[in-house]
Amino acid sequence: MSAVKPIAALLLSLLLGCSGGASASGTDANDIDPNNPDPTNPDPNNPDPNNPDPNNPDPNNPMPNALCPAGAGGITVAGDKRFLFGMNYAWVDFGADFGGIASWGQSGVSSRAGEHAKNLETMRANGAGAVRWWMMPDFRGDGVVFDGSDKPSGLGGTMTKDLEEALRIADEADTYLMLCLFSFDAFFPTRDVGGQKIRGISPIVRDASSRAMLIDNVIRPLAKVVKSSAYAHRVVAWDVINEPEWAMMGSNPYGDPNYDPMSGIDPVTHEQMETFVYEVTKALHEETDSPVTVGSAAVKWANAWKNVGIDFYQPHVYDWIDQYWPYDNPPSVYGLDDKPVVIGEFPVEGLSSASLGTMLETLYQVGYAGAMPWDFHLAGSHDWTTMSAFAAKHECGGVMNTNPDPPEECVDVPPDNMYTCEQQAGWGKCNEPWMQGFCLETCGKCM
């Protein structure tokens, strides 16, 4: 027994030494790591061990760190008001990025994730916190399946996989997506191009039952793919249709100028397009939490989309527009004062009246909610530097590349398969707004 007492005393003294008081070094013996006062949290730089992002106090509501703080105007993203500074990616393969075109050997995002990820990372590194990406500019792709009556019956090809992968790589690049569903290009009549049947959307837009099939079999399933994704918050907005005015005819019931549809288009009336946009917008609001917009061709038709339920306006600006509706007027001058206004397209090199840098700063200061130049494939090193400088000045977040490499790919494809690049250039069409992003080599616009 006498041998046990010293051992017990020793153990007792050790126990007491561990239960309070200061150690010989002056640190708290209860604190295993003297550099971390909270032993329950292995990361002293992150006060909440349940939240891996110390910059975001609510892990269930990701903060849009990639987006710029709002200037004189902004849109609400994840509870914060932000300036939607981004860029038009547009596409790598027109109509194939989402769904693919197997007969043409064109794969969707899921088969080319590395390439797309690199492009998103390039845009993000140069300040673009949001990317406008076209999904179904027309129905040439395999992403939408049609029945024997040419009515949409569901999603096909690799559409679902491509959308899921686009969300994943957007999260990886810390950027946000504005997914543009349709474009005026879809209103060309049904035709066969290279063995691929490209169905026109005009008959669908005009017919209530066909619209319902498009919404129930295509729009809602796409929205549900996003809603079920762990990266659903990466969809900053849905763009129902790009520049629908070019596929419209007749008068505008709200006092705007009459419509002048693009040659060769099978146009619809304002009422028909308005109904289509309203119904798609309503479905998107029912299925997802992301705001909805329309990529309007110009503030020439400023009142066209005031009654379709969209969350913010998104007019486009090119030189022909700026001559009559200057970009540097506040949105209120054009009667757009009831919702935020994002300039969704303008030349990446700037307008004849203003450089890219001047445009960005002006739009930020006079009340616009965002700016997204057109487009990634046209941007040169000077444009990247300008974008980076703007993002850095306004603390848009992320590491800004002040000396980036220009895109490697020089795209030399025509806007459609009716005319070649050589023909378009020969007719002097290289600088038309609808030629942006096309025939770069033929038109001498490659870097």
Q: Three-state SS across 39-105? A: CCCCCCCCCCCCCCCCCCCCCCCCCCCCCEECCCCCEEECCEEEEEEEEEEECCCCCCCCCCEHHHC
Same domain (yes/no): 102, 190: yes
Same domain (yes/no): 271, 305: yes
First to last CA, the chain: 91
pLDDT in tens, 317-354: 999 999 999 999 999 999 999 999 999 999 999 999 99
Structure tokens given for 343: 């300039």
DSSP E strands: which ranges in 184-234? 191-193, 196-198
Residue 321 lies in a domain: yes
Residue 398 makes CB contacts below 8 A (sequence gap 6+) with 65, 66, 124, 125, 127, 129, 174, 391
Residue 216 lies in a domain: yes
Residue 354 lies in a domain: yes
CA distance 188 to 205: 13
Residue 305 lies in a domain: yes
pLDDT at residue number 52: 44
For the CA atoms of 174, 180, 181, 187, what is the dihedral angle to 10 degrees? Answer: -160
CA distance 85 to 384: 13
Same domain (yes/no): 422, 400: no
Same domain (yes/no): 419, 313: no
pTM of the model: 0.78
Task: Give the chain's radius of gyration (CA, Å).
Answer: 27
Chain-centroid distance, C-alpha 410: 22
Residue 401 lies in a domain: yes
Same domain (yes/no): 192, 250: yes
* DSSP character at residue 444: T
Half-sphere exposure of 36 (CA within 13 A, CB side): 13
Q: Which amino acid, one-letter code, is at 291?
A: P
CA distance 346 to 340: 17
Task: For residue 268, list its beta bridge partners.
Answer: 248
Same domain (yes/no): 212, 120: yes
CA distance 358 to 89: 22
CA distance 202 to 350: 34
Same domain (yes/no): 312, 416: no
pLDDT in tens, 89-139: 999 999 999 999 999 999 999 999 999 999 999 999 999 999 999 999 999
Mapped onto helix, strand or coil, the DSSP state of residue 282 is helix
Same domain (yes/no): 311, 414: no
Same domain (yes/no): 392, 439: no
Burial label for 359, CB within 10 Å (0-12, 13-18, 19+), is buried
CA distance 205 to 272: 7
Question: Residues 234, 288: contact at Cβ < 8 Å?
Answer: no
Residue 403 lies in a domain: yes
What total of structural domains would you count in the chain?
A: 2
pLDDT at residue number 202: 99
Same domain (yes/no): 100, 212: yes
Find the domain containing 280 and state its range: 83-408
Same domain (yes/no): 415, 344: no
CATH, residue 383: 3.20.20.80
- Stretches where the chain sits below pLDDT 50 are 1-34, 37, 39-40, 44-45, 47, 49, 51-63, 399-408
Residue 195 makes CB contacts below 8 A (sequence gap 6+) with 103
User: What is the DSSP pairing of strand 235-242 with strand 176-183?
Assistant: parallel
Residue 246 makes CB contacts below 8 A (sequence gap 6+) with 184, 261, 262, 265, 297, 434
Same domain (yes/no): 396, 415: no
CA distance 40 to 217: 50
Residue 16 lies in a domain: no
Residue 75 lies in a domain: no
CA distance 150 to 158: 20
